[in-house]
Amino acid sequence: MHHFNYSGGRLHCEGVNLDALAAEVGTPCYVYSSATLVRHAQVIAYAFREQSVLIAYSVKANGNLAVLATLAGQGCGADVVSGGELLRARKAGIPASKIVFSGVGKTAAEMALGLEQGIHQFNVESSGELRLLSAVASQLGKTALIALRVNPDVAAGGHPNISTGKSGDKFGVPWGEAEALYAEAARLPGIRAVGVDVHIGSQIGDLAPMRAAFEKVVGLALRLRKQGHDIRRIDVGGGLAIPYKEGDAPAPPSAYAAMISEVTAGHGFEVILEPGRVIAGNAGVLLTTVLYEKQAPDRTFLIVDAGMNDLIRPALYGAHHDIVPIAEPKPGQAHRAYDVVGPICESTDKFAAGRELPRVAAGDRLAFMSAGAYGAVLSSSYNARPLVPEVLVDGDRYEIVRRRPSFEELVGLEKVPEWLTTVA
């Protein structure tokens, strides 16, 4: 469900005409729908209404402050993977008591920040991290509440680049070492183990691998309780898939919640969720303008003003984004197969190959759909292209919530050493 629809012959986001918005803001630009973000947060909260749950939105999916503030308004917490994301979440009004800190490479400074802020939980991914966290907490006179992220050795079935729960993946502590590590945690000062955490990957549409992982995790949590550990929380991570194209039918939040309820029922666990894509993915689009149509012997290229530096998912994972013209196609309008490419000097700067689209021409505007998650956050200024604006729509109004930097800002962190500027 999202709020991007044609109205009066133009694609709208809620009540805002995206043709007019693009003319005003310029392309490329990201546009997010508040109503869609709110709806997704509410659908998840409703699905879990009968369980004790913390919805810790995964900031890495889309960390724009306005997006975070929208979700904070819905009572969401945050799952962060760096000190920067922690500060973003706090700045957007998410209370520290609703923040969990994940990630394999936390530094001592990031640990201290989390402890000083008083976050809900650290998800610890190795014995080295556990010992460092103990040292940092002891030094600050604090106690870190932790879950160990375990690697359940379950294949998620998604793209290998976004699978995180197999034994060869860098994430989590090996399944066979988890109990020994909890025993070590119990002996360490400044550490209190309160949960077990797992996250097996992203864009997972089939609940079977998740259920397999969560059953193992609950089994482990119950064994740990018998061994004297006060385990009260099960963090099931994120990973729920969204539909990217017609025919995609991932498991809905209601079925996901029912499965988690079944697997965890009767033990009094607090369930922590870390949804990212399922909240933000279909709440955003990337608007672009066609620069050129270029005919090659065997194909037609559509060269657009957005590049892989703005939206890297197709280049990184071969991901599919629906591409739709902002001007609504007329019934019976001619179609054509296009290779849709960007201006970047890389052959992987390709959004779609042989994609059937209504015929378009230079100057026409297009929208890449489902670009709200892992879009703007993964962008760069490669080829000296400034980061593109992000716009938040709310009903009939919109606001530029990240502006396009100027050229001076783009190069503002750089410096030419004096020895290169003085003539000998």
Ligand X SMILES: *Cc1c(COP(=O)(O)O)cnc(C)c1O
199 contacts ligand X (rule: CB under 6 A): yes
Q: What distance in Å separates the CA atoms of residue 137 and residue 114, rounded to the nearest whole number?
A: 10
CB of 57 to ligand X, least distance (A): 9
What's the Cα-to-Cα distance from 378 to each of 74, 80, 264, 382, rounded to whole Å?
A: 25, 15, 34, 12
Contact between residue 251 and residue 328 where contact means Cβ atoms under 8 Å apart: no
SS3 112: helix
61 contacts ligand X (rule: CB under 6 A): yes
CB of 14 to ligand X, least distance (A): 23
Q: What distance in Å separates the CA atoms of residue 370 and residue 106, rounded to the nearest whole number?
A: 30
Binds ligand X by CB under 6 A, chosen from 2, 39, 40, 60:
60
Contacts of 189 (CB under 8 A, 6+ apart): 134, 137, 138
Closer Cβ to ligand X, 134 or 202, answer by number: 202
277 contacts ligand X (rule: CB under 6 A): yes
Closer Cβ to ligand X, 33 or 202, answer by number: 202
Region from 54-62, 90-98, 140-148, 215-223 binding ligand X, contact rule CB under 6 A: 54-62
The H or E element spanning position 110 is helix 108-117
365 contacts ligand X (rule: CB under 6 A): no
- Output the six-digit token pair for 233: 């929380």
Do the bridges between strand 350-358 and strand 335-341 make them parallel or antiparallel, or are there none, so unpaired?
antiparallel
CB of 319 to ligand X, least distance (A): 13
Closer Cβ to ligand X, 303 or 371, answer by number: 371
CB of 202 to ligand X, least distance (A): 3
Closer Cβ to ligand X, 250 or 307, answer by number: 250
Give the total of residues touching ligand X (CB under 6 A). Answer: 17
- x-or-dash pattern for ligand X, window 29-48, by CB under 6 A? --------------------
Phi-psi region of 206 (alpha: psi -120 to 50; beta: other; left: phi over 0): beta
Q: Where are the alpha helices (DSSP H) in 141-264?
A: 178-187, 207-226, 253-264
239 contacts ligand X (rule: CB under 6 A): yes
- Output the six-digit token pair for 155: 């294949």
Concerning whether 76 is annotated as a catalytic residue, the answer is no
77 contacts ligand X (rule: CB under 6 A): no
Q: Which among 115, 124, 30, 37 is positioned nearest to 76, based on CA atoms?
A: 37
Instruction: Give the chain's largest Cα–Cα span.
Output: 79
CB of 279 to ligand X, least distance (A): 8
Q: What distance in Å separates the CA atoms of residue 37 and residue 71, rounded to the nearest whole number?
A: 7
237 contacts ligand X (rule: CB under 6 A): yes
Closer Cβ to ligand X, 284 or 389, answer by number: 284
- Output the six-digit token pair for 366: 């297009």
Region from 215-223, 234-242, 378-386, 395-403 binding ligand X, contact rule CB under 6 A: 234-242
CB of 371 to ligand X, least distance (A): 14
Q: What distance in Å separates the CA atoms of residue 407 and residue 385, rounded to the nearest whole number?
A: 9
Within 10 angstroms of residue 139's Cβ, the number of other Cβ atoms is 12
Binds ligand X by CB under 6 A, chosen from 238, 284, 325, 389:
238
The H or E element spanning position 174 is strand 173-174
Region from 9-17, 83-91, 269-277, 347-355 binding ligand X, contact rule CB under 6 A: 269-277
CB of 235 to ligand X, least distance (A): 8
DSSP string computed for 24-73: HH-SSEEEEEHHHHHHHHHHHHHHTTTS-EEEEEEGGG---HHHHHHHHT
Binds ligand X by CB under 6 A, chosen from 19, 79, 129, 305:
79
- Output the six-digit token pair for 242: 């969204």
Closer Cβ to ligand X, 18 or 92, answer by number: 92
Name the catalytic one among 13, 29, 76, 345: 345
Give contact residues for ligand X (rule: CB under 6 A).
58, 60-61, 79, 102, 199, 202, 237-240, 274-278, 373
> What is the set of active-site residues?
345
